[in-house]
Amino acid sequence: MAGICLMPDDYLSQGIQNEASSLKRAEGTVNSGHHSVYDHAHMTLTIEGIPKILAMLLNSTEDYVTSEKSARYTVLKPETEAELVLYEKWIVKFTDLISKTYPNIDPKMVNKLALEKASG
């Protein structure tokens, strides 16, 4: 990670990705006492199809952060016919409720909000 802090090139350059250069840089930072660069490591994972409660539990830990796909911009793909029926029913109900409550709201926003609420 020290290479990223001081790199003159982009991340995919040979100077950063080269194993021999990386080991030399690691030895240099250890010997200089510049250990904070080892706190920079991170990993990105895509975890799909988990219950919302598990995502919330993972997000509550200190070393984990999440970027969840917004239901406002994503159409739910129900796994069963029963889920699809309920989802479509709630989209209609929320669309009607939002439209009546906020008559001057942009129709696109009404749809986005209804999708978000119906999936949640």
For the chain, which residues score pLDDT lower than 70?
1-17, 40-42, 62-74
Residue corresponding to tokens 């709630």:
90
Residue 91: C-alpha distances to residues 2, 24, 82, 117 (Å) = 49, 58, 14, 8
Measured between its terminal Cα atoms, the distance across the chain in Å is 38
Length of the chain: 120
What's residue 106's pLDDT? 94
What's residue 12's pLDDT? 65
Residue 115: count other Cβ atoms within 10 Å of its Cβ: 22
Q: Give tens-digit pLDDT for 12-28.
A: 666 566 778 778 877 88
What's residue 1's pLDDT? 58
Give residue limits of the domains in the chain.
2-39, 70-119
